[in-house]
Amino acid sequence: MRGLLAKILLAMVISVTVALIVVFLITRVSLQRGLVNYIENQEAVQLQRIAPELAELYQQEGGWGFLKDRPLRWNRQLRLTRPHPEMVEDGSKAPPRGPLRHEENRPPFPERLQFLKRLFLLDSQKSHVIGAITSEKGLYRLEAVEVAGEVVGWIGFVPLRAELPWTAQRFLRNQARMLAASLMVALFLAGIIGFLLARHISHPLRDLASEVAALTRGEFGVRAEVRTRDEIGALGADVNRLAETLEKNRTARRRWMADIAHELRTPVAILKGEIEALVDGVRPVNEKTTASLREEAEHLAHLVDDLQTLALSDAGALNLQMEPINLSVLTQQSGEAFRSRLTERGIELHLHAPEGILLNADPQRLKQLLHNLLENCCRYVEEGGRVSLSLAKKEQMVVLDLDDSGPGPETEQLDQLFERFYRVEGSRSRSTGGSGLGLAICRNIVEAHQGSIRAETSSMGGLRIHVELPC
């Protein structure tokens, strides 16, 4: 799982790095814009300080002609300009007039020179008089120059754009370095957390990989330790259930092969012995001998047919010829066919099959179902007992119940009755108990018809087989 650990860690580091770079760029741009807005707001206060002085000069000179095309006097006048006593930012009285270099809100000397270079003066019609060149109307901060309540000009400044003062640039560089250092620390911590998380995820997956590898080698007894209740824990539980299922299937397959070998060996051995006896002249060829050979051959053929039916149903290839049938008639015919055999053993058959119960099904397979169920009754029900076969319709289902008077299996044996080669009595012989495939075939036939079958304890004292088929 080293590859998975590296992939998870790399993905997390890349994601965190991209996120931190985006945060760095957004923070840097936001900080720069905020600083520009702050500086321009401070510079707007300077406009309020300069405007009253320019108004006094306008009154003294009688217009703006004294500044027109005279940049030296403009620059000199700006450097000597003092604030108006009532134009302080907070609205309070300004201190007595004096040199501007000691007043609040006045930029340091280098920034002030840069600020003065960006100042310009417009007349009352907003035509350029002196100062920085203006080209984009409506994008500048302007402060009216008023004389006796009348606007005689406008003082403004060109926005900073990317040309920040050196102190602001130094502040931004320091902030960028601090932000970069913080992001590096965050990236380092994210890498540690990502490594721990990736290892926490890959460790149980490593256990699961080991278990799956063991399963591929046929070691079905291994189990993974489930430590969590998340998706990985659920996957581990599923893999453990898969291992249990594979182990059970292997055991069942081995028992299945052993049972098949046993069931086939007995009739084959009998046939072989009978034939050798005939060849050696030990036994004469007569009707009794041929009848015995025929019986063993039929039993062997019947066993092979049952095995083929189970194999087809397991592979999903059980061929069903679906057609509308009258299950009432089919049930009555099957019951009457077994009545004589049951009567010979003193077993009373009660048949209840109301007319008109129809469904879409394979008649041959359902006849095989009824045959296997009634055959079990002939084999297992004690002499003088009773058998009840009833048919009914409940909503969209057809219900078939077969009850007998016993003896019935123990309650813990009911779920095993539909297993292949299972017999309630381990000592029961083939001639009495059959091959043990009848109920397994019945279950496959019912499930192929999208129905259900189960074994219960009968109120008559024996076994009840309950079958439900969709109409």
Q: What is the DSSP string of 227-239?
A: --SSHHHHHHHHH
Is the distance from CB of 261 to CB of 254 less than 8 angstroms?
no
207 in any annotated domain: no
158 and 275 together in one domain = no
Give the percent of the chain with pLDDT over 70: 85
Q: Which residue has the tokens 């306008």?
A: 58
By the 10 Å C-beta count (0-12 exposed, 13-18 middle, 19+ buried), 448 is classed as middle
CA distance 380 to 436: 12
196 band by pLDDT with thresholds 50, 70 and 90: confident
- Which pLDDT score, from 0 to 100, does residue 327 have? 93
178 in any annotated domain: no
15 and 91 together in one domain = yes
CA distance 392 to 394: 7
Which residue in 353, 271, 260 sits closest to 307, CA to CA? 260
Structural domain of residue 366, as residue ranges? 323-470
Is the distance from CB of 402 to CB of 363 less than 8 angstroms?
no
By the 10 Å C-beta count (0-12 exposed, 13-18 middle, 19+ buried), 178 is classed as exposed
Q: Which of 57-61, 80-84, 253-257, 464-468 shows the lowest per-residue confidence on average (mean pLDDT)?
A: 80-84
Per residue in 325-366, pLDDT tens?
999 999 999 999 999 889 998 999 999 999 989 999 999 889
296 and 352 together in one domain = no
At 378 the three-state DSSP class reads helix
Output 261 or 422, whichever has higher pLDDT: 261
**CA angle (441, 444, 447) in 5-degree steps:** 150
- Which pLDDT score, from 0 to 100, does residue 163 have? 63
CA distance 437 to 422: 8
Residue 269 has pLDDT above 50, yes or no: yes
331 and 259 together in one domain = no
Average pLDDT over residues 194-198: 80
Work out the number of other CB atoms within 10 angstroms of the CB of residue 435. 21
Tokens of 158: 């060109």
* Mean pLDDT for all residues in the chain: 79
CA distance 57 to 50: 11
Residue 180 has pLDDT above 90, yes or no: no
287 and 336 together in one domain = no
Average pLDDT over residues 193-215: 80
Which residue in 400, 253, 279, 276 sits closest to 335, CA to CA? 400
What is the CATH classification number for the domain harbouring 242? 1.10.287.130
Residue 127 has pLDDT above 50, yes or no: yes
Last residue of a domain, one of 314, 331, 362: 314
- Which pLDDT score, from 0 to 100, does residue 385 have? 92
Residue 84 has pLDDT above 60, yes or no: no
Residue 108 has pLDDT above 60, yes or no: no
Tokens of 125: 């019609």
Angle, helices 363-380 vs 327-344, to 10°: value is 20
- Which pLDDT score, from 0 to 100, does residue 96 have? 41
At 152 the three-state DSSP class reads strand
Sequence-ordered list of residues with C-beta below 8 angstroms from that of 237, at least 6 positions apart, any chain: 226
Tokens of 324: 């509308």
30 in any annotated domain: yes
Residue 83 has pLDDT above 70, yes or no: no
Average pLDDT over residues 369-394: 90
268 and 384 together in one domain = no
Residue 308 has pLDDT above 70, yes or no: yes
Based on DSSP, count helices (H) and strands (E) in the chain, helices before strands: 10, 11
Number of structural domains in the chain: 3
293 and 329 together in one domain = no
Is the distance from CB of 180 to CB of 24 less than 8 angstroms?
yes
Average pLDDT over residues 164-183: 80
Q: Which of 10-24, 219-233, 239-253, 306-320 shows the lowest per-residue confidence on average (mean pLDDT)?
A: 306-320
Q: Distance between alpha carbon 313 and the CA centroid of its chain, in Å?
A: 33
208 in any annotated domain: no
Average pLDDT over residues 96-125: 61
47 and 111 together in one domain = yes
327 and 287 together in one domain = no
- Which pLDDT score, from 0 to 100, does residue 104 have? 44
Is the distance from CB of 171 to CB of 111 less than 8 angstroms?
no
Is the distance from CB of 323 to CB of 287 less than 8 angstroms?
no
132 band by pLDDT with thresholds 50, 70 and 90: confident
Q: Which residues of 334-345 are buried (b: 16+ CB within 10 A; e: fewer)?
A: bbeebbeebeee
CA distance 245 to 250: 8
Residue 101 has pLDDT above 50, yes or no: no
CA distance 37 to 86: 24
212 in any annotated domain: no
Q: Which residues of 11-27 are buried (b: 16+ CB within 10 A; e: fewer)?
A: ebeeebeeebeeeeeee
Give the percent of the chain with pLDDT over 90: 15
151 and 264 together in one domain = no
Sequence-ordered list of residues with C-beta below 8 angstroms from that of 8, at least 6 positions apart, any chain: 194, 197, 198, 201, 202
Which residue in 299, 253, 271, 310 sits closest to 430, CA to CA? 299
